[in-house]
Structure 1
Amino acid sequence: TLNDWAAMLYYDGEFYDSVSFPNLEILDRVGGGDSFASGLIYGLLSGKGPQYAVNCGCAHGALAMTTPGDTSTATLAEVEKVMKGGTARVDR
């Protein structure tokens, strides 16, 4: 149930490494990829740049896999907290 979680984005000829989550305790991996994609897309559409986008996707995916079910309930504030080094466990 412990996995390393990170991402890489190739955008406009450059690679961007995301924040990483070594030994992430996975509760339910269903929805992790969809949550990554939605965070990445949000980051790109918000105009905050590719580094923000890949970090947003990675953090959102990590949060999704630490909660049960396939639908993320993480808020943008929670995702941004994780992006800045907070734990990937949702505070509820």
Structure 2
Amino acid sequence: MPEDAELSEIFHWLFLDRKSGALIKLWFRSLDSSPAIEERYFEQGYLKFNSAEATFIEKYNSAQHSLDNRSNSVPAKELIAALENYLKTHS
């Protein structure tokens, strides 16, 4: 990526719809960072997180999702397959 690339070109955030198994791209708008909490704003909602947990609030506060940081665990085979399929069709 060029040095002047937009953050939305560098970072891609995906939402896993557990019911359908589909990965949905979140359209990045802006971010805010502090030592205690990180925040990301998307067209579809708002994510706030730290090193242990996160909350995703859907647009219009239609739903809230509590998330756990599982970066040290092995992803499920279904998630890996969904990511591989997403990358094949969106690259």
Q: Which of the five TM-score ranges fits, normalised by the shorter chain? A: under 0.3
Higher fraction of strand = 2
Higher fraction of helix = 1
Bigger Cα Rg: 2
- TM-score normalized by structure 2? 0.25
Greater RCO (CA < 8 Å, at least 6 residues apart): 1
- TM-score normalized by structure 1? 0.25
